Structure 1
Amino acid sequence: MNKNENVKIKINNYGCNAEGVAKFNGETIFVPYSLVGEEIEATIIKANSKYSIGKITKICEQSNERIVAPCPYFTKCGGCQLQHTKYENGLKIKTEIVQNAIQNIGKINYIVPQLIASDNKYQYRNKIAMPINPHTRRVGMYRLNSHKIVDIENCLLQKTNIKILIETINQYLSQSKNSIYDEETRIGLLKSIVARDINNTVLLTVVINGESLNDAELLIKLLSQKFNKLGINININKLNNNVIMTNNFKHIYGLNEIDMFDFGIRYTINNASFLQVNDEIKKLMYQKIFDETKNDIVINAYSGAGLLSAMLAKNAKKVYGIEIVEAATKLADDLKKQNNIHNLTNITGDCSEKLPELLNTLNGNEKQNLTIVLDPPRKGCDKKVLNSILNCSPAKIIYMSCDPSTLARDLNILMQSDNYKVKYIQPYDMFPQTKHVETLAVLETKK
């Protein structure tokens, strides 16, 4: 295949990014926003020796699953991949993605059940990050696989306050004399905004390439007219990379945190905190984890700031959280103290080192009732951590993943010992309208 070549093809299945896949003269072509069964005309926009990527120019035979996307920015903004199909079909596509990963990467013979749906197909997200366009002085979203910014007036995945926030931020940008950061020249002050919308409370962070926001009073005036419960801070980020925020925050107005209460735990969050973006699906997944760990000895191997560990401690016999970042462990200890938890121990260190040390302190009965919970970043678990787990042979392993490919890879390693069988693998639609999926896998020792 050659770039700019025009082809007529039929879509036969889906790729790992929810794009359609076709064969042409024995070569594989990936076509975003196409559906299985559709006959299309496409232009090749990228070609190499392994595969090509096509762009739809005409749909000759349309799938009955295709609908008109409700968002005017769909296919322009890179945030969504599945607005062009019925929600139920999107669930099937993402289930197929997980099934293919488990079968082809994990080499595991298991029929993955359909994704558990989200009641909220839109307006489910509690957080947004938006770059500021230096050419138009408006906020937007990046195009797919690009750092070109598409100006937007609203995001349908966000809760209702975000539309008002976008309008107000754009009003501020039209009046502000602050310069806008340009990634090409690396000059300018205002880089992006990050916002949370939870319980009708808005926390805004303005990310800047400097030390202060010169006209903060204007921003405060405009926003305080729109929101009763509001907090504003700035984040100083002088780095020239893809990191949105650093750890350098300055609080300038109103609230600095939002008080939360889930599963018997009181906690606070801010814009630096990790929190699942879909509260409904988060609760479903967490409840399943708590059901699996009732009265167990539990080790939370990527415990972060300790929220999941604290929640686990409400039903488990004893919980250990292992986290490599010392500041996060301190937050976990503060949370433990705040909630008067006595059956939780937070440990700072590399899990591959601390896990074997911890296991040596457990007696035989404790090891027989041991469950290890894994909630790693998208890249999955360090192989040293997986080997440490295999060496201790816990009764149960619970793995929460946001990437089917790395989940399948790690499950394959864990099951090579032949000590474990799959109890279940269940995907959840944490991110409706997108290619992303959250999956909960539970392994248990063979009887």
Structure 2
Amino acid sequence: MNHIEKNGEYVGVVSKMGANGEGIIKENGCTVFVPFVLIGEKVRYKVLKVKGGIAFGKATEICAPAEERVRPKCKVYEKCGGCQLQHLKYKLQLALKSRIVKDCLSKIAFIDADVPACVRSDLEYGYRNKLQLPVRATEYGVTVGFFAQNSHRIVPISDCPIQPEWCGKIISAVKKYVSEYGVSAYDEKTESGIVKHVVVRDVSGKLIITVVANGDELPESDGLIRILREQFKVFSLYLNINKRNDNVILGEKFVRLYGKNKYAARDLGVKYEVGPESFVQINDGVRRRIYQDALKYSETDENTTVIDAYSGAGMLTAIFAKKSKKAIGVEIVKEAVNIADDLKKLNGLNGVMENVCAPCEEVLPEIMAKERKENSKCVLVLDPPRQGIDGKIIEAIKASVPDRIIYISCSPQTLSRDLGLIVGTLERKGDALVKSEVASGGYEIETIKTYDMFPQTKHVET
């Protein structure tokens, strides 16, 4: 029985780090999770929530700081919900992330794997090519910033260290625009006000700026263009119309107000265009390393068919199409498939690149069976969303047995589950996953690499 109470204050020593970058303290038979603390630190903390033998707390004093602690660069760190690890030396962030993946593989899938230190980002700060800023009407007037963790309360900011230097200029421009022209910000309670979000995408120094509005027009848009031209040489400005009062940032309709429709870019031999609706991984350097490694480990050649499941806008499909007999991308989002078709035309990949719009779990078994019969070599690339792959895909893998599987994941938990089922250390019994007596999946793990796509945060790519 634990003897820890909500709102109670305690002093303890952090014994380990959790999967979300928080410190773990053992207190009176209870496991307490406390963010923004490090292993070995003696901390004073207040308990915010108790549930069974688990509690969640907030550090009120670092009594004995660890040598690994550094001063965060962000002025609102611990208030903004974006970063969790700015207080930890970067080299140790990398070690922590690889350990999180290793622990998940062991605890969830019973896989004892060697997971080397995380591949570092070239940029520890200023690495993001995308910015999403909520703009709200508050008791203090128009507020521009980020949402606090698990809330819609805005933390006001003037800059963000994980964004490029243009971030501060964008925030300043938005504030000047609403102030000079008296443009209203959105109020979630009354569902009134115009400006809801500002979304910016950086394409090799050229900015695509989208103002999300609760209305069909953007008031004084010429004034905003003038303010932006004072700061930026090359940019496009879009209005996005979103009158919904929910968590969805972008509406369906975009209206171009200034600048080019799209901007061209090139990466790993593939030409592509980026517009306001495009999806591109937010860390250009790390994305490039992941794609290079995916190509290397696939061992694809002119006799290989590559099936790219959850292919998104087709960038990786196009990279494989240039190096293989054929690459087939499967994606459920129609807009993404349309972009992938444009990518195919732009790069002259007709005949070697095919894009299928459908749920992976519905069409992948048939595609894999067909390609396995017709080709001497077949590689399956899996790049699913956070929830991982469907059970039907696991069965399709077992039935068609692709020569190699490349799995790119943003969730160590679902990656571990899916790998356990693929290599056979896990099996389903009813609705439950249990440890297999004998690993019988027919596959062995050859390489595991982790990548720091999101420095200063708890997130890791594998």
- Whether the 8 Å contact between 1:3 and 1:47 is mirrored in structure 2 is yes
Match of 1:282 in 2: 287
CA distance in 2, matches of 1:262, 1:128: 21
The CA deviation at 1:29 is 0.4
- Whether the 8 Å contact between 1:371 and 1:396 is mirrored in structure 2 is yes
Specify which of 331, 334, 343 is matched with residue 352 of structure 2. 343
- Whether the 8 Å contact between 1:45 and 1:55 is mirrored in structure 2 is yes
Match of 1:228 in 2: 233
CA distance in 2, matches of 1:56, 1:324: 43
1:432 aligns with 2:441: no
Q: Give the AA of the match of 1:304.
A: G
1:153 aligns with 2:162: no
Match of 1:197 in 2: 202
Specify which of 160, 163, 185 is matched with residue 168 of structure 2. 163
- Whether the 8 Å contact between 1:203 and 1:256 is mirrored in structure 2 is no
The CA deviation at 1:422 is 0.5
Decide whether aligned partners of structure 1 residues 331 and 196 sit closer, same or farther in structure 2, where only a CA change above 3 A counts. closer
1:301 aligns with 2:309: yes
The CA deviation at 1:364 is 4.3
Query: Secondary structure of the equivalent of 2:177?
Result: helix
Superposed, 1:8-157 pairs within 5 Å as 8-135=11-138, 136-157=141-162
Query: Secondary structure of the equivalent of 2:162?
Result: coil
Specify which of 374, 382, 386 is matched with residue 378 of structure 1. 386
Query: What does the per-residue CA deviation read over 1:388-435, in whole Å, with 9 as the maximum and x for residues that have no partner?
Result: 222211111111111111111111121224211101111101110111
Match of 1:397 in 2: 405
1:214 aligns with 2:219: yes
Match of 1:181 in 2: 186
The CA deviation at 1:357 is 2.1
Q: Give the AA of the match of 1:352.
A: E
Query: What does the per-residue CA deviation read over 1:315-366, in whole Å, with 9 as the maximum and x for residues that have no partner?
Result: 1221111122333323222211111113112222222222222234335472
After the TM superposition, which of the residue ranges 142-151 and 377-386 deviates more from structure 2? 377-386
Match of 1:2 in 2: 5
Query: Secondary structure of the equivalent of 2:58?
Result: strand
CA distance in 2, matches of 1:363, 1:127: 39
- Whether the 8 Å contact between 1:282 and 1:430 is mirrored in structure 2 is yes
Query: What does the per-residue CA deviation read over 1:232-252, in whole Å, with 9 as the maximum and x for residues that have no partner?
Result: 001111222111112211111
Q: Give the AA of the match of 2:181.
A: S
CA distance in 1, matches of 2:244, 2:285: 35
CA distance in 2, matches of 1:408, 1:310: 28
Query: Secondary structure of the equivalent of 2:446?
Result: strand
- Whether the 8 Å contact between 2:372 and 2:402 is mirrored in structure 1 is no
CA distance in 2, matches of 1:249, 1:382: 33
Decide whether aligned partners of structure 1 residues 42 and 388 sit closer, same or farther in structure 2, where only a CA change above 3 A counts. same
TM-score normalised per structure 2: 0.92
Give the % identical residues. 40
Superposed, 1:222-371 pairs within 5 Å as 222-293=227-298, 294-295=300-301, 296-341=304-349, 342-362=351-371, 364=373, 366=375, 369-371=377-379
- Whether the 8 Å contact between 2:207 and 2:234 is mirrored in structure 1 is yes
Q: Give the AA of the match of 2:294.
A: I
Match of 1:444 in 2: none
CA distance in 1, matches of 2:259, 2:177: 18
- Whether the 8 Å contact between 1:182 and 1:188 is mirrored in structure 2 is yes
Q: Give the AA of the match of 1:151.
A: P
Q: Give the AA of the match of 1:233.
A: Y
Decide whether aligned partners of structure 1 residues 23 and 177 sit closer, same or farther in structure 2, where only a CA change above 3 A counts. same
1:410 aligns with 2:413: no
Q: Give the AA of the match of 2:459.
A: H
Query: Secondary structure of the equivalent of 2:363?
Result: helix
The CA deviation at 1:38 is 0.7
CA distance in 2, matches of 1:433, 1:420: 34
- Whether the 8 Å contact between 2:372 and 2:378 is mirrored in structure 1 is no
The CA deviation at 1:50 is 4.3
CA distance in 2, matches of 1:334, 1:283: 21
Query: Secondary structure of the equivalent of 1:422?
Result: coil
Decide whether aligned partners of structure 1 residues 272 and 326 sit closer, same or farther in structure 2, where only a CA change above 3 A counts. closer
CA distance in 2, matches of 1:192, 1:363: 47
Query: Secondary structure of the equivalent of 2:324?
Result: coil
Decide whether aligned partners of structure 1 residues 389 and 133 sit closer, same or farther in structure 2, where only a CA change above 3 A counts. same
Q: Give the AA of the match of 1:436.
A: H
Match of 1:443 in 2: none
Match of 2:429 in 1: none
Q: Give the AA of the match of 2:394.
A: L
Q: Give the AA of the match of 2:192.
A: I
After the TM superposition, which of the residue ranges 226-235 and 351-360 deviates more from structure 2? 351-360
CA distance in 2, matches of 1:389, 1:249: 40
Query: What does the per-residue CA deviation read over 1:256-284, in whole Å, with 9 as the maximum and x for residues that have no partner?
Result: 32211011111101232111111111111
The CA deviation at 1:385 is 2.3
Gaps of 5+ in 2: 425-439
- Whether the 8 Å contact between 1:128 and 1:158 is mirrored in structure 2 is yes
Q: Give the AA of the match of 1:419.
A: G
CA distance in 2, matches of 1:247, 1:411: 36
Gaps of 5+ in 1: 440-447
- Whether the 8 Å contact between 1:232 and 1:256 is mirrored in structure 2 is no
Q: Give the AA of the match of 1:400.
A: I
The CA deviation at 1:379 is 1.7
